[in-house]
Structures are given as C-alpha cells and as structure tokens.
Amino acid sequence: MKRKMIFILLMSIICSPSLLPFAAFAADSPAFQLTADKQKLKAGETVTIRMDGKHIKDMYAYEAKFTYDPKKLELLESKSQMKGFSVSPIKKDQEITIAHTKIGNIAGEEGDVFIGTLKFKAKTNEAAAIKWEAMKVVDSHLQSLTYTLDKKVLIAAAAAISFTDIKGHWAEDSIMEAASKGMIAGYPDGSFLPNGSITRTQFAVILSRALQLQEQSSLTFTDAKKIPEWAKPEVAKAVKAGLIQGYEDHSFRGDQTITRAEMAAIAARSLKIQESDGTQINFADNSSIPSWAKEWVEIVAQKGIMQGRGGNRFVPGEHATRAEATVIVLRLLETNQAL
C-alpha cells in the first residue's frame, strides 16, 4: 500500500503542468550536462550515459525526457543517484521518460548534483545519438519548472582496431584499450608509432577525450591559429579545465613535443589535489627536475601514474613517447575513479 501511494504521488507530480518553462539560464540558474563513458560502440557493447546538474536548487523530484533511435540502441536500465523512489522508464517511439522523487518531508538536492545514469546496448555497428530534451524539476513545496534542453551525446561506430607496429610492445594492451575507448588513434598507414614523441596538442586532445571534458574557453594564445581545427575544441576544454597552460609570451606551442615534466604537471592538475610540496621525490636525478614541476612529479609518482626510466631516473627534460602518454592517461583515469 505504501509503495502504491508513493507511486501515485510521483505520477501526480510529474504529470502536473509546470509553472514556467525555461529555455535559457542565468549564470547562477540550474544547468545540466550529459556525458558518455564511451565515444565509440560496437554491436552488443554497452554505454553508460551520465546526467549531472549544476547550481541545483531544492530538487525534490524530477522528470527527464530523452530521444534516441530504438533501432540502434536498447535501454537496459536507468538509475537515480537520489534517495527515494523511481518509476520504470516510459518508452514511446523514440522517446524515453524517467522520473524520481524523494520521500517524506525533507529538502531537495542542492548545488552540483550527480542525478543518475542511463545504460544502453548497441544493436548495430552504426553511429547513434542520445539527446536530453527536457528536465522538469519539482521542489519540496511541489512547485515545478521545466527546462528545455539541447544536450546530446554522439556515439560513433567503432571500426575494427588494429595497428601494424605494436605487436609485442610493452604497452600493446594499454594502446588497444585506449583505442577502444576512443581516446587515441593511429596514422593513415595503420601505424601507431608507440615510441614516437607526442606534441602538446596531441596530449591535450587525448586527455580531454579521456576525461570527457565539456566546457570550452576561447583560445587567446598568440599562436592559436597553428593549432589544427580538429584539435581546437579539445585543447580549449583542457585549457578551460586548467590542465594545460601557455607560456609567458602567451604562446601555446602546440606542435612542440611534450616533456615528461610537462606531462607530469598536466596529469597531476587533473587530479585536483594539492597534497605535495616536492620534498619527497626519490628519483636519482631529483636535481634535474625543475622547481615548478617538483610537486607535480611527486604527486604522479606517489599515485603510481608515472614512473622513472632506467636507473630510477625521471629524466624530466626528455620527450614522452606516445606509448607512455597512453599508459599515463589510463592510469590517471583509474586514479580519478578511486579518489
């Protein structure tokens, strides 16, 4: 009986007309983000779509509407991160509606909120899209607002992945894992060049894709025009997130090969922790590590993200390889998930 009453309450909330629809937001108004844990998908594989809200104010219940192509994707489950009660997803043609409510006389969610997830399985090897169309938010006084959204994630078709030059390489498995997640790609001739150097632009792109960064900033570097068009959005996201910076002359030098010290700094910044002062580094060449990089090197070393090379030397000024960059980003993701 109690479960039935909760269900009736939830349906009465989400079926009631909104007081006011919103299509745009002020700076401090609620905003919503949609991200996917994969960028490419094969038939039979699954993808988890995450819903987040920022600047949320007293969200007691919600109703979220999505569109997708049911010929390409199958909804497996939906989960809310809020305590309370959810109704089963309502599916109609290309639309999915999910709803959830808290229970009892309590306040709604506030601030930055992990709202919930949707899990889909690919039916075909074709590209697909999932779009968050609208979000109705109900407060603890049962007053509601509906936000018209245009949040979309695009899932590309995953082609068969193979590289001609990684067989037997120490990073072979990591390279294949990163490629399957859409983080990296090879060259037109089918090679990956695992021992080749990697540029600042290339590393920024890999990290942005891996972390699924969303917010961009305008690129005001004096040499921004030299950054390839395909890379600019991802570089802009990495800059906005504060992961990579320019030089004192306001240049970015994107085609410059990245050093291990620079890579350590970028990787450590993405962890968003400041618990080191650089005094606990135990590499044989500590004296060669620049003062600005010591705390970053200490963090990535302590977290197991970066290691030394032969003779326990960190070699901060040497160029990082494409294989090293791939492994470092994968370790970074594992560390982020554990924090």
Mean pLDDT by 10 residues, the chain (339 residues): 48 51 57 90 86 95 95 92 92 94 94 95 85 95 92 79 92 89 85 95 92 86 94 93 92 95 92 70 90 92 90 93 95 80
Q: What is the pLDDT of residue 339?
A: 61
Look at residue 167 and tell me if it is in a domain.
Answer: no
Q: What is the pLDDT of residue 185?
A: 84
Q: What is the pLDDT of residue 201?
A: 95
Q: What is the pLDDT of residue 38?
A: 85
Q: What is the pLDDT of residue 43?
A: 75
Look at residue 163 and tell me if it is in a domain.
Answer: no
d(CA 124, CA 213): 27
Q: What is the pLDDT of residue 23?
A: 45
SS3 306: coil
Same-domain check for residues 86 and 216: no
Strand segments (E) across the chain: 20-22, 31-36, 40-41, 46-59, 61-67, 73-80, 85-86, 90-92, 95-101, 109-122, 128-138, 144-157
Q: What is the pLDDT of residue 336?
A: 79
Same-domain check for residues 116 and 194: no
Same-domain check for residues 50 and 112: yes
Helices (H), the chain: 2-15, 172-180, 200-211, 232-240, 260-271, 294-302, 322-338
Q: What is the pLDDT of residue 180?
A: 75
Q: Which of 167, 181, 186 is nearest to 36 (CA)?
A: 181
Look at residue 165 and tell me if it is in a domain.
Answer: no
Q: What is the pLDDT of residue 5?
A: 45
Look at residue 311 and tell me if it is in a domain.
Answer: yes
Look at residue 146 and tell me if it is in a domain.
Answer: yes
Q: What is the pLDDT of residue 21?
A: 46
How many separate domains does the chain show? Answer: 2
Q: State the residue range of the domain holding 196.
A: 172-338
Same-domain check for residues 60 and 178: no
Same-domain check for residues 6 and 147: yes
